[in-house]
């Protein structure tokens, strides 16, 4: 046995447990923090920064599409690098990281009544690995040959061949490495979110009393933990194909008259792996948005969310179904065409729980007391854009309709509306809603309304007409739209219009960023619960909540998250931690 | 309040845009008007749902906006209403899916009298191969691709000798005759797409994919590559001319067969675009590679 001698590293017995748990230096408080709230802000700030890069890239693309031939520096090579990095950043490094790493970290412990995530140290590592993934991604802009231009789907064989930018340079290697890092980092965070929801809830917080925000983030995280491994193996295998010359995805190829030393691989295998991840990924982004928007609507309409149990089961059902629809991205990929019958059926079935969610949002408005606050405006805008984008999904999911529309601008318009605009609008609504809790101050109302109107109407004007270009047959991923017999002169004018709207909407985001920074010091004081909301994060003793969230005693939960306008109650909301029996019989069991 | 008005305007504006804007599909030139009809059904059903949901929201925002002293109703669930909405949605979705799958079964069922033709994609041009008098295409292998045999037809296959090879030029098809298009690539993914035919399919190196259609009117139609295939992707255009039977046969008579092209005289070399002719050293290397990989 080792001879153990008491050292001063062992604290005396009279130091309270909470005292040991708090950070003791500036570094551990603000940088290498294990507080989920600080990690949330780190995640959000990093995601927003890299998101700005994606925004600039989208401007560069729209410059080329709207005004072809005007900007010499946008070569086809550069254009493909822009679309690839834009897509990958938006889907993975911005939306996934922001919803799960950002909102998940901030809201899960507060909303379930926990002091922190269950594994704070792993949670901290999760962020730092994510940051490393982002840095590796950014480094590809400075690598020889530039970033990869393979499209965000990275389909082999072209992704690792010389005809694609970065295919035989550093670009693709850095992209694959960055994704592998991201998945490792995410898994650390994701396990935390799941275990915290399952094991960290305070007394009285049953699963069926959780706010829908938590249900959305929880289900999305479970899905991500199951879906990302498929992308992980696909990345590893492609990395081996590219660096060691294996042939997982590479058949015999004659490139520009030269036979490549590959043989026997399957390019379509990559597509199955990619979309086995990629389709759940859509819902990994959408489900947190669904959850958050439910809470925004309920709070600002002063009315319980309609059909809470149905909403929970719809989230879980969508999550499960989303694992059996992946090949609807591959109807024209050359896979066995008889798969189409199966995947079209599963895909259209998913429309039913999704529609139920939409009905329940609008039925929550019915006989509500609707406060048209900025979060509520964004929630309404979300419903419009999500319904629009969801309905065009019924075109693309219905296999034979997909045949003419696949790979056209219709697809670009559809997925931007449904998983770009709609979730980002929820992000905005959520930031206006929770900023007062995070900073103690309100965001500026006038700037906020300007930001809302320009973003909502502008985004609709960008993507609604774009569907019709796709209907005309204009393909996506065309760096040049020259010599196209199907495109009329007016179609080119429409492209210019879309580009101009894109610049305007982009400008409005600068106003939003200014508001975010300016209001930290100059915003109106918010108080602890400015929206008079019921959920636990608004009931913390301090605003912003201190480390440990709830002071000496954890709250005890007596009711569901939606006791707004309960008949007989004095106020129009009853927080979850308030005991008493106002109409408890109406609460879903 | 402004938001209620804007929501109504979005519905009205979207519907007007749909009917009045000049941007719509190109006039169809194949038998796949079934697909167009399915799209029209889908537009009607989804359009009605969009209008209903957004107008309902606009009404709610107008009618139930906050005023002093208002209080929301308390109604956690309504099982009857939720069940009804679920049933109505399921019916709506089924009415989209059933015609869709019906048309899809036509799309995947190739008629027995369809002529097989082959389309070969490579960075960044289109080539074609038609069966000769024997009505059969010879087998092919990417490892047989060389400057003399750009499509990789297996030289020893007797069925391939009379195949008509159209390298990097326009394809002609006779009007009114069903064709089964066999799709092949020798390098990366491509996608053979002609907007007027409404059909498309990826081509995968190492596999042969297919679709079928019947051209229904004469004319020339641009081929677009619809699967990202590298920097040259947007310039990978081709042309398909749909001819009358007579014009088609006249064109066919001028084409060369695989056997003619692979004779030592190499009469077809004038057709080759400059960037495709390889330096002789590279050609040798390619041939060595081919031998080595066997």
A22: confidence class by pLDDT, cuts 50, 70, 90: confident
Residues 6 or more apart from B265 whose CB is under 8 A from it? none
Residue B137 in domain: yes
Q: Cβ A332–B191 below 8 Å, yes or no? A: yes
Q: What is the pLDDT of residue A16?
A: 66
The answer on pLDDT for B283 being more than 50 is no
My answer on whether B237 and B150 are in the same domain is yes
My answer on whether B92 and B139 are in the same domain is no
A10: confidence class by pLDDT, cuts 50, 70, 90: low
Q: Which residue of B has its CA nearest to A486?
A: B26
B108, B128, B162: which is the final residue of a domain?
B108
B-interface mutation test, from A332, A353, A386, most B Cβ less than 10 A away = A332
For position B151, which CATH number holds?
2.60.40.420
Q: Which residue of A has its CA nearest to B6?
A: A457
Distance of CA A267 to the CA centre of its chain: 28
Q: Which of A77, A384, A483 shows the shortest C-beta gap to B231? A: A77
My answer on whether B56 and B199 are in the same domain is no
Q: Cβ A251–B293 below 8 Å, yes or no? A: no
Q: What is the pLDDT of residue A14?
A: 67
Q: Give the tens place of pLDDT for each residue, B75-84.
A: 888 999 999 9
Q: What is the pLDDT of residue B287?
A: 37
Mean of all residue pLDDT scores within chain A:
93
My answer on whether B102 and B172 are in the same domain is no
Q: Cβ B186–A253 below 8 Å, yes or no? A: yes
Q: If you count DSSP H runs as helices and E runs as strands, how many of each does chain B have, helices first?
A: 6, 11
My answer on whether B172 and B236 are in the same domain is yes
Distance from CA of A506 to the nearest CA of B (A): 21
B264: confidence class by pLDDT, cuts 50, 70, 90: low
Residue B253 in domain: yes
Mean of all residue pLDDT scores within chain B:
88
Mean pLDDT of all residues in B76-97: 93
Which residues of chain A neighbour B83 with C-beta distances below 8 Å? Answer: none
Q: Cβ B225–A475 below 8 Å, yes or no? A: yes
Q: Which residue of B has its CA nearest to A265?
A: B206
Q: What is the pLDDT of residue B275?
A: 43
Q: Which of B21, B42, B74 shows the shortest C-beta gap to A394? A: B42
Q: What is the pLDDT of residue A20?
A: 64
Terminal-to-terminal C-alpha distance of chain B: 74
Q: Dihedral angle at the C-alpha atoms of A15, A19, A25, A31, nearest 10 degrees?
A: 150
Residue B98 in domain: yes
- The interface residues of chain B toward chain A in range 176-215, judged by CB-CB distance below 8 A, are 183, 186-189, 191, 193, 195-196, 198-207, 209
Q: What is the pLDDT of residue A23?
A: 85
Q: Give the tens place of pLDDT for each residue, B148-177.
A: 888 999 998 999 999 999 998 899 999 999
- The interface residues of chain B toward chain A in range 52-111, judged by CB-CB distance below 8 A, are 53-54, 56-57, 60-61, 64-66, 70-78, 81-82, 85-86, 89-90, 93, 96-97, 100-101, 103-105, 107-108
Residue spans of beta strands (DSSP E) within chain B:
115-122, 125-130, 164-166, 171-174, 179-185, 190-194, 199-203, 209-213, 219-225, 237-243, 256-257
My answer on whether B92 and B206 are in the same domain is no
Where do the domains of chain A lie, and which CATH numbers do they carry? 33-210 (1.20.210.10), 534-589 (no CATH)
Q: How many CB atoms lie within 10 A of CB A349?
A: 19
My answer on whether B161 and B288 are in the same domain is yes
Residue B73 in domain: no
My answer on whether B88 and B164 are in the same domain is no
Q: What is the pLDDT of residue B294?
A: 32
Number of structural domains found in chain B: 2
Tell me whether B4 touches chain A (CB under 8 Å). Answer: no
A158: confidence class by pLDDT, cuts 50, 70, 90: very high
Residue B148 in domain: yes
Q: Which of B35, B61, B186 shows the shortest C-beta gap to A404? A: B35
My answer on whether B148 and B57 are in the same domain is no
Q: Which residue of B has its CA nearest to A80?
A: B231
Q: Give the tens place of pLDDT for each residue, A340-394.
A: 999 999 999 999 999 999 999 999 999 999 999 999 999 999 999 999 999 999 9
Residue B193 in domain: yes
Bond into B124 cis (ω within 30) = yes
Q: Give the tens place of pLDDT for each residue, A184-221.
A: 999 999 999 999 999 999 999 999 999 999 999 999 99
Which of B156, B164, B94, B159 has its CA nearest to residue B129?
B164
My answer on whether B27 and B146 are in the same domain is no
3-class SS of residue A367: coil
Which of A367, A363, A374 has its CA nearest to residue A530?
A374
Mean pLDDT of all residues in A73-97: 96
Q: Which of B26, B72, B188 shows the shortest C-beta gap to A367? A: B72
The answer on pLDDT for A544 being more than 60 is yes
Residue B273 in domain: no
Distance of CA A573 to the CA centre of its chain: 30
Q: Cβ A334–B183 below 8 Å, yes or no? A: yes
My answer on whether B120 and B174 are in the same domain is yes
My answer on whether B181 and B143 are in the same domain is yes
Residue B69 in domain: no
Q: Which residue has the tokens 């929206």?
A: A531
Q: What are phi and psi of A525, to 5 degrees?
A: -60, 135
Reading the block at residue A197, the tokens are 């929801």
Tell me whether B114 touches chain A (CB under 8 Å). Answer: no
Q: Give the tens place of pLDDT for each residue, A454-464.
A: 999 999 999 99
| pTM of the complete model | 0.92
Q: Residue B247 sits in which domain range?
A: 115-268+282-292
- How many contacts does A have with B, using Cβ atoms within 8 A? 355
């Amino acid at each position: 046995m080792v001879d153990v001698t008491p050292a001063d590293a062992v604290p005396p017995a009279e130091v309270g447990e909470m005292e040991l748990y708090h950070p003791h230096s500036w570094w551990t408080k603000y940088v290498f923090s294990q507080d989920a709230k600080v990690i949330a802000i780190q995640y959000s700030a990093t995601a927003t920064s890299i998101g700005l890069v994606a925004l600039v890239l989208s401007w560069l693309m729209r410059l080329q599409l709207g005004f072809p031939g005007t900007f010499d520096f946008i070569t086809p090579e550069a254009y493909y690098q822009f679309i690839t990095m834009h897509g990958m950043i938006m889907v993975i490094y911005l939306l996934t990281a922001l919803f799960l790493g950002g909102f998940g970290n901030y809201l899960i412990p507060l909303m379930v009544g926990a002091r922190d995530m269950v594994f704070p140290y792993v949670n901290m590592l999760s962020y730092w690995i994510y940051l490393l993934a982002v840095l590796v991604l950014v480094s590809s802009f400075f690598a020889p040959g530039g970033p990869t231009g393979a499209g965000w789907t990275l389909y082999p064989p072209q992704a690792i061949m010389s005809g694609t930018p970065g295919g035989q340079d550093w670009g693709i290697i850095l992209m694959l490495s960055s994704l592998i890092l991201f998945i490792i980092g995410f898994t650390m965070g994701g396990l935390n979110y799941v275990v915290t929801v399952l094991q960290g809830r305070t007394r009285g917080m049953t699963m069926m009393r959780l706010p829908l925000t938590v249900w959305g983030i929880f289900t999305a995280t479970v899905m991500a933990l199951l879906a990302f491994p498929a992308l992980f193996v696909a990345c590893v295998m492609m990395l081996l194909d590219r660096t060691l010359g294996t042939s997982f995805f590479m058949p015999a190829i004659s490139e520009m008259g030269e036979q490549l030393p590959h043989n026997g691989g399957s390019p379509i295998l990559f597509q199955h792996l990619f979309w086995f991840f990629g389709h759940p990924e859509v819902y990994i982004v959408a489900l947190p948005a669904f959850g958050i928007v439910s809470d925004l609507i309920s709070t600002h309409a002063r009315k319980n969310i309609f059909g809470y149990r149905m909403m929970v089961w719809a989230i879980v059902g969508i999550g499960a179904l989303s694992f059996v629809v992946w090949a609807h991205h591959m109807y024209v990929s050359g896979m066995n065409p008889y798969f189409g019958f199966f995947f079209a059926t599963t895909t259209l079935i998913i429309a039913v729980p999704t529609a139920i969610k939409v009905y329940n949002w609008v039925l929550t408005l019915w006989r509500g007391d609707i406060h048209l606050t900025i979060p509520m405006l964004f929630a309404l805008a979300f419903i419009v854009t999500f319904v629009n984008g969801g309905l065009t999904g019924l075109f693309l999911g219905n296999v034979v309709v997909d045949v003419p529309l696949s790979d056209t601008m219709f697809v670009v318009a559809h997925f931007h509306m449904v998983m770009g605009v709609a979730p980002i609008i929820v992000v905005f609504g959520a930031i206006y809603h929770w900023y007062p809790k995070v900073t103690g101050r309100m965001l500026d109302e006038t700037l906020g309304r300007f930001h809302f109107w320009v973003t909502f109407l502008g985004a609709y004007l960008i993507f609604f007409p774009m569907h019709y270009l796709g209907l005309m047959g204009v393909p996506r991923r065309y760096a040049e739209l020259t010599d196209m017999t199907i495109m009329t002169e007016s179609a080119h004018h429409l492209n210019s219009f879309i580009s101009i709207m894109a610049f305007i909407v982009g400008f409005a985001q600068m106003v939003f960023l200014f508001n975010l920074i300016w209001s930290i010091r100059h915003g109106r004081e918010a108080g602890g619960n400015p929206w008079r909301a019921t959920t636990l994060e608004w009931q913390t003793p301090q605003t912003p909540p201190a480390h440990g969230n709830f002071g000496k005693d954890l709250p005890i939960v007596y009711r569901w998250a939606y006791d707004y306008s309960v008949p007989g109650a004095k106020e129009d909301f009853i927080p979850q931690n308030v005991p008493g029996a106002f109409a408890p019989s109406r609460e879903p069991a | 309040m402004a938001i209620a008005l804007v929501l109504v305007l979005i519905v009205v504006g979207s519907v007007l845009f749909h009917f009045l804007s000049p941007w719509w599909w190109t006039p169809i030139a194949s038998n796949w008007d079934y697909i167009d009809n399915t799209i029209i059904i889908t537009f009607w059903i989804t359009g009605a749902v969009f209008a209903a949901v957004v107008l309902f929201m606009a009404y709610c925002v107008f009618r139930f906006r906050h005023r002093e002293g208002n209080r929301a109703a308390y109604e956690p669930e309504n099982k009857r209403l939720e069940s009804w909405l679920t049933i109505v949605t399921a019916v709506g979705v089924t009415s989209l899916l059933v015609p869709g799958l019906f048309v899809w079964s036509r799309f995947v069922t190739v008629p027995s009298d369809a002529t097989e033709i082959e389309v070969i994609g490579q960075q960044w041009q289109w080539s074609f191969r038609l069966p000769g008098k024997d009505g059969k295409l010879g087998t092919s292998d990417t490892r047989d691709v060389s400057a003399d045999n750009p499509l990789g037809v297996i030289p020893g296959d007797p069925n391939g000798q009379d195949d008509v090879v159209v390298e990097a030029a326009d394809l002609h098809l006779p009007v009114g005759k069903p064709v089964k298009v066999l799709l092949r690539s020798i390098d990366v993914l491509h996608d053979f797409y002609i907007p007027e035919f409404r059909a498309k399919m990826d081509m995968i190196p190492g596999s042969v994919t297919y679709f079928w259609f019947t051209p229904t009117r004469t004319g020339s139609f641009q081929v677009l590559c619809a699967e990202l295939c590298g920097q040259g992707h947007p310039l990978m255009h081709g042309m398909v001319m749909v001819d009358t039977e007579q014009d088609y046969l006249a064109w066919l008579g001028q084409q060369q067969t695989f056997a003619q092209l692979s004779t030592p005289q190499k009469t077809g070399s004038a057709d080759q675009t400059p960037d495709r002719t390889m330096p002789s050293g590279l050609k040798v290397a390619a041939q060595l590679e081919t031998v080595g990989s066997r």
